[in-house]
Amino acid sequence: MKRILAIGLASVMFMGCSGNARNISLESSVEPTSESTDGSTDIVETELLGLHVEFAEDVDVEIEDGAEVLLDPDNADVGLVFLTDRTVTDLEIVELTFLDVDQQGEILWYAETVYSQPELTADDPLLVIFPAFGDMPSYGIEFTDTDGTRITNTIGISGMDGSLFLDYGTFVYDMPEEATQAYVTAEFAPDELPDNSTLYVIGDEEDPDLRVMFTTDQTVTGFEVLVLGMSDIDQNGNIIWDKQIEYMIPEFTPEEPLVVYAPNPGDLPSLGISYTDIDGTERFFVLSISGYDGSLVMSEEPLD
């Protein structure tokens, strides 16, 4: 079953302003002090120490004149506030383009600076108005910490709960002539699906156990959604998969994400994908749910 969706994608609109200092809700990164048994005051630190990012409508801090940055006047969509508990230097907001995945599985991003400032302090947060975020990171931040370490992070929005997060990123500053492979991702599908997506349902559409959205940054061919079963185990203990083609797209493009509703995979993965990459390589991935944190894992395995 294939259904083209026409569901509007809700976006958070944030109207910037200029002129006076402004209040934009941040829970304190240091919890209230408490009296210890010996009469001294203990400071209870939380995980919000260091540089972090919040949606503008979720924080209550003062933004001074000049600390508001509009990246694209024609596409002002999401306001993010960057805060720190200590002074960091040489801060840059970078626009990201996927390049490749190295031999260690690290994603390489081409980073182009779109804004910079000498330092960011605890007293002067930075408000940046970004264009709409896509399904994969399109912006990042880098800065030098107090110990001299250069920190490079991508800025992402979780497809599961819509929360913001900073994640380690490997940034490259010289664009190579041509990427060698596409960046195909799988994440939990949001409640409101993009209106340019295709929905394919395996099982119950009304109450699916698993909702996965696939995206790609480049066109790949022969994209197949596979239902998996265990056929055998080889002498090295690796599972040999029985693959049944459930759905196939001749060309899977960045402009049209694919959403798949499927039954609960249980203890053994039951969903996979395969496709031909831009360099002609045939690739096969198995989807599973992490028993550690419940996240969606896409693991590449050899073709039989």
* pLDDT for the residue numbered 66: 55
Dist CA 53 CA 133 (whole Å): 15
288 pLDDT tier (thresholds 50, 70, 90): confident
**13-26 mean pLDDT:** 33
* pLDDT for the residue numbered 44: 33
| pLDDT tens digit sequence for 182-224 | 889 999 998 889 999 999 998 766 777 889 999 998 999 999 9
27 pLDDT tier (thresholds 50, 70, 90): very low
End-to-end CA distance of the chain: 28
2 pLDDT tier (thresholds 50, 70, 90): very low
Residue with tokens 């959604």: 225
289 pLDDT tier (thresholds 50, 70, 90): confident
Token pair of 155 as six digits = 């800025």
Dist CA 45 CA 126 (whole Å): 22
* pLDDT for the residue numbered 41: 36
* pLDDT for the residue numbered 161: 79
Do residues 212 and 258 touch, judged by C-beta distance below 8 A? no
Do residues 234 and 205 touch, judged by C-beta distance below 8 A? no
User: What's the whole-number average pLDDT of the chain?
Assistant: 78
Least confident segment among 29-43, 51-65, 124-138, 151-165: 29-43
Token pair of 21 as six digits = 């200092």
Q: How many CA atoms lie within 13 A of 275 on its CB side?
A: 25
Residue with tokens 């790949």: 220
Q: Return the higher-pLDDT residue of 303 and 278.
A: 278
Judge whether residue 102 has pLDDT over 90.
no
* pLDDT for the residue numbered 105: 72
Which of 302, 200, 177, 295 is closest to 256 using CA atoms?
A: 200
CATH architecture of 49-172: Sandwich (2.60)
pTM of the model: 0.50
| pLDDT tens digit sequence for 261-275 | 988 777 788 899 999
| pLDDT tens digit sequence for 124-150 | 899 999 988 877 788 999 999 999 999
65 pLDDT tier (thresholds 50, 70, 90): low
Token pair of 16 as six digits = 């910037």
